[in-house]
Amino acid sequence: MSQRYGQPRDDAGKPAAISICALGKCGGRELGFASDIELLFVYSADGTTDGKDTLPNATYYQRYVERITQMIRAKREGVFHVDLRLRPYGKAGALAISLAAFEHYYAPEGAAWPFERQALVKLRPIAGNEELGRKLLALRDRLIYTGSSLDASALRAMREKQVRQLVRAGTFHAKLSPGGLVDLEYLVQALQLTVGHQSTDVRTPNTHEAIAALHRQGITHRDIKPDNVLLETNGGLKLIDLGVARLPRIEEFAEAETPGTQAALPAGRPGR
């Protein structure tokens, strides 16, 4: 592309750059066997290329991302698939955005939904211009670690929608059911957003590192830390019993609906 269109430059004639960032499991270095590779492409500034055939930087980087995604192919369907849906405006948005557009979209008064701003907790530059990557992280920190109140109602509504749409009634989904992996991650991220303006230690994309950092800050209970979180044979998450609380007996739940399903949602809540 550079042979045909030249180097992208900003309006002042300085070379533009791009940062390729990971989000989600990839951003947190927590990839599983069926994880998507969630990416976000951010370039430094609008302008035009300096080649014989000129292009606006926005068009140049749009084609740049298209070529990258065409080159990357998962060896198995549904495994390590490149996912760009977390970009601003989702499928309707540009494949690459400028740093200024990033700031405008994710600002507290911007168009981003609360869960989109929360997703930036996992942002991690993995390729491209390192200086731009550092600048992007600093901007991210200013935008999301503000100390403002968390919109818990929006987060709750999204989780209930996920349960209704993605969890089959009468079953427990280790990732999506209430008490599953997503709830754990969202809780940790909510705590990170709440105290991150005071403690840079908790600003990490990795869930285990975040739990440990929150523990060191005295935010989480002494036993809620990575070493004490186990994955049960049925896929559920469990804290090791260290004798600090009474464990419920099975008979106490004999007449209850199966936890982690739509049927277990209280009457009057969405999904009933």
**Which domains are present in the chain?**
2-144 (3.30.460.10), 152-264 (1.20.120)
The per-residue pLDDT for 257 is: 43
Q: Which residues contact 65 (CB under 8 A, 6 or more apart)?
A: 41, 84, 95, 96
CB 200 within 8 A of CB 213: no
CA distance 210 to 202: 5
pTM for this prediction: 0.79
Q: Which amino acid is at 234?
A: N
Cα 213–Cα 84–Cα 93 angle in degrees, nearest 5: 115
The per-residue pLDDT for 172 is: 86
Beta partners for 9? 15, 48
CB 41 within 8 A of CB 14: no
Q: Which two tokens stand for residue 40?
A: 């976000």
**What residues of the chain score a pLDDT lower than 50?**
241-272
The per-residue pLDDT for 248 is: 37
**Would you state the torsion angle of the CA atoms of residues 191, 197, 202, 206, taken in this order, to the nearest 10 degrees?**
80
The per-residue pLDDT for 236 is: 54
Closest CA to 144 of 98, 112, 182: 112
What is the gyration radius of the CA atoms in the chain, in angstroms?
21
The per-residue pLDDT for 254 is: 40
pLDDT tens per residue, range 70-116? 988 777 776 788 999 999 999 999 999 999 999 999 999 999 999 99
